[in-house]
Amino acid sequence: MASVIEYKGYIGSVEYSSEDKCFFGKIEMIDDLVTFEATDAQELENNFKNAVDEYIATCRALNREPQKSYKGVFNVRIEPKLHKKIYKEALKSGISLNAFVQNALKKEVSYG
The neighbouring-strand residues paired with 25 are 36
- Each residue's pLDDT tens digit, 62-98: 999 998 766 677 888 999 999 999 999 999 999 989 8
Question: Rounded to whole angstroms, how far apart are CA atoms 93 and 88?
Answer: 9
Assess whether pLDDT exceeds 80 at residue 35: yes
HEC secondary structure over the chain: CCCEEEECCEEEECEEECCCCEEEEEECCCCCCCEEEECCHHHHHHHHHHHHHHHHHHHHHCCCCCCCCCCCCCCCCCCHHHHHHHHHHHHHHCCCHHHHHHHHHHHHCCCC
What pTM was computed for the model? 0.66
